[in-house]
Structure 1
């Protein structure tokens, strides 16, 4: 986040002899260096219950306080570690109805800093204090970015579903008196009207016009009770994937079972690679438990490079306290993974919780906070959000608001 090159030493004589910028992290300062007093958290093996007291630090909050001898009022490394590793998700906790870690169990939610990128703010305040101590120190400039992810579970709503599924859907429309859908279904089958969920031409046009940074995550799971996506062998679905891959990055949207089983995940990865004809690097778990740390270790084992699942599907905010990408760390194994975690802030599922005006106002506030720290505002949409069967004007408006385009 600060973009400074560092060198570590545990030799006191080497540290004392160094005449450049230096900082110590321990129980007491060794001289006139920049000193951060530590807590014991980063020295421990594994994890355990922690007593956490959140306190103010200027215009933000912090925790793990230390004595006044420290140049910072808290152990910034331990606090950042706690949030970035998702330490609290290793601990026993109540799960939601989908078996996930609920936002209501998080420290950030309980202490009302969920919608603030505290780790990035700490880094910026840390930089300011360092500059006061070392005015000549140079820092890398970081640029604000925006990225949208489109999760494609249902590539079509009417077409390419097979005779049985299509007839069942047709019958349901009649029974429920959904005559508009009933006739739209027939028009789609007869190619008179485009399938309402097939919005890829429109999205790609917007991407090309404004050079938007986007990733499309496609689901290619087997049909099950939980996964009701289009069969990956359907030619129109494969054609849409190939078409989109010419203009945006592609990734795998995990199915219910691939989020739990290595063998199934490996099979789905192979399927999508066979369609796009290049190694798959990106993955999104949009709906299921993140399974920390085992699931992330599995992704690394299968050579995924980028995961975009670090966020709450049902609330706005910063699950890991940051809007910056970072390498996953496994507390159990005490190793840093090569897997890059790219946190998201907004999932279109939260549209159910907010009115359009409320959601716009919340996004304006969070957008500004991310911009102030030079982070990345990452949002997740579904392709059906932009169909006529959803409030597509609302989601096009949100997409444009987030990317700051007209």
Structure 2
């Protein structure tokens, strides 16, 4: 057990110390604001304040974890051994920076609460992030800092428990369009067929006819192939299905269609399933509740996993809607167009609501790769960047999650490239 002294135990201090010490390093901790108790303690102990009390392990604090709300901060990133750090402190500190304040800044997504230039979809873009601007987005710096902190701490207190973390890989398959031709309805199918003919795309027109007459499987129905990979190689996959009403933004088939429901049920026999939120449910909790109930009615169990289909966090409202509906896990923490770690970590973490200054029960599962990057980046560059973050996550024995779409593996797409990336991630020969 590590005893931590701080003059005042704030919600921010509790949150970030528990994440680094307990969740990442698996070291049990206890807080105290009583100097007598701290001095009398004979085991591992750490003080977090302006100056050391004695010969204990000492980390000098900056004021971020003592504050409430958010304000503009001056951040100077500087090198620290083979990595970087910010919020530097005096030499009397056992670490050259306030690891807990820096980690809180990244995990809480502090910068996303501040004024920033949004992208065309009204989202916080990667270009506005400190990680991109200071070239460390590809590194899970919070995990790197935590392990370096552990090493220094164990030099002082060798009896501290060793972490049992292991490198893991998880794949998320988003399903906005379960089928491309099947069950689209007479009018949509008729219009689509005529457009194919007008564009002289006779291959697709012929495929439509074959799917309608059940001579051919729908090209987007790749679920049996993916399930076969799961069974052969014991892969972890999470399938996110969209069940929203049809609109200009959400164009999947109806949730009532029997083939659609059958796909979800069959996938749920071999992998976890979750809800890919529709465009309007990201803002409207009534719509989100409707989609949640639809999924629960199909799979006959409580919905635990969700993902934002447009990768728009809308802090903190989006996450608070999930909390209100008792959804436990969200998988939206990442950038769809850049490889790297939006929150500076590859370890799942609890969402901290800066507006309310509370640690919430919602667990955020960050991803480091999204297949969308191939739209604007060469295959060679994507492969290089992917292998770089694989190496980074292995180094900290973290969890690397990657996002693909079911149509990535369709014969209409560059399915060989996507299968190759999927195999690289899971180290399948």
Q: Same fold (TM over 0.5)?
A: yes
The match for 1:30 is 53
Equivalent residue, structure 1, for 2:108: 85
2:140 equivalent to 1:123? no
Q: 5+ unaligned residues in a row in structure 2: which ranges? A: 1-23
Secondary structure, aligned partner of 2:111: helix
Alignment partner of 1:143 is 2:166? yes
DSSP 3-state at the match of 1:338: strand
State which of 190, 202, 206 in structure 1 corresponds to 2:213.
Answer: 190
Q: Hey, what's the Cα distance between the residues in 2 that align with 1:310 and 1:76?
A: 21
Question: Partner of 1:100 in structure 2?
Answer: 123
Structure 1 residue 286, shift from structure 2 partner: 3.2
3-state secondary structure, aligned to 1:7: strand
| CA contact 2:311–2:334 (8 Å) conserved in 1 | no
Correspondent of 1:46 among 69, 76, 81:
69
8 Å Cα contact 1:259/1:288 also seen in 2: no
Q: What TM-score does the superposition give when structure 2 sets the normalisation length?
A: 0.94
- How many residues align? The count is 406
Aligned-partner SS, 1:364? helix
Q: More deviation in 282-291 or 183-192?
A: 282-291
Q: Is the 8 A contact 2:311 2:335 kept in 1?
A: no
The 8 Å contact of residues 138 and 341 in structure 2, kept in 1 or not, is answered as yes
Query: 66, 71, 80: which one pairs with 1:57?
Result: 80
Partner of residue 354, structure 1 = 377
Distance 1:48 1:281 in 2: 34
Matches for 1:148-227 after TM superposition, within 5 Å: 148-227=171-250
- TM (norm. structure 1) is 0.99
2: distance between equivalents of 1:119 and 1:43?
A: 20
Shift in Å, 1:206: 0.7
Please tell me whether the aligned partners of residues 311 and 336 of structure 2 are also in contact (alpha carbons under 8 angstroms).
no
Offset of residue 357 of structure 1: 2.2
Choose from 279, 291, 297 the match for 1:274.
Answer: 297
The Cα shift of 1:137 comes to 1.8
**Distance between the aligned counterparts of 1:56 and 1:269, measured in 2?**
46
Question: Whole-Å Cα distance in 2 between the matches of residues 107 and 364 of structure 1?
Answer: 22
Q: Is the 8 A contact 1:99 1:288 kept in 2?
A: no
CA distance, structure 1, for counterparts of residue 36 and residue 154 of structure 2: 25
Supply the distance in 2 between the matched residues of 1:380 and 1:286 (Cα, whole angstroms). Answer: 11
On the 8 A contact 1:98/1:288 being kept in 2, the answer is no
- TM-superposed CA distance for 1:135, in Å, is 2.0
User: 1:68 is matched with which residue?
Assistant: 91
Alpha-carbon offset, residue 287 of structure 1: 1.4
Choose which of 267, 285, 306 in structure 2 pairs with 1:283.
306
